[in-house]
């Protein structure tokens, strides 16, 4: 799925999101990622998270679709400020191991807080 989002951003991305921080990211790719995050949460609700309401699934998709991209941009900004292209050489050509988890650093706590404060069990 990540490759499809990359393709959408690469094929249709004409408007740069934040060129100074991450010159290859586009608004079109960000919007595609946002929409697919919501659709993925709706699918997850239907397949394995039947305890969530549809509303909660959409809200969590919105959180993942926005905060996840912010986390990715923050990590890119940290690398730019440090003057490095990749955070490690463990995964060549992929920005390093930190790139595999950058969106989770902000998304996971935000989803947890949403579940804690708004989902009553």
Find the mean pLDDT for residues 92-112.
80
More confident residue, 37 or 81: 37
pLDDT at 114: 97
For β-strands 22-26 and 16-18, DSSP reports them as antiparallel
Which tops the pLDDT comparison, 39 or 5?
39
The pLDDT score that the predictor gives to residue 100 is 73
Partners of 26 in the β-ladder: 16
What kind and span of H or E run contains 23?
strand 22-26
Is residue 85 within 8 Å of 79, Cβ to Cβ? yes
Cβ(70)–Cβ(11) below 8 Å:
no
On average, the pLDDT of the chain sits at 82
Residue 94 confidence (pLDDT): 63
Is the pTM higher than 0.85?
no
């Amino acid at each position: 799925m990540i490759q499809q989002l990359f393709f959408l951003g690469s094929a249709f991305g004409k408007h740069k999101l934040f060129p100074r921080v991450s010159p290859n990211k586009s608004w079109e790719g960000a919007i595609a990622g946002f929409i697919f995050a919501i659709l993925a949460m709706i699918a997850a609700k239907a397949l394995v998270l039947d305890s969530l309401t549809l509303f909660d699934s959409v809200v969590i998709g919105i959180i993942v679709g926005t905060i996840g991209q912010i986390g990715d941009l923050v990590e890119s900004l940290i690398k730019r400020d440090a003057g490095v292209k990749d955070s490690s050489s463990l995964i060549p050509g992929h920005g390093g191991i930190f790139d595999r988890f950058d969106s989770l650093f902000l998304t996971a706590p935000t989803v947890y807080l949403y579940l804690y404060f708004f989902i009553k069990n």
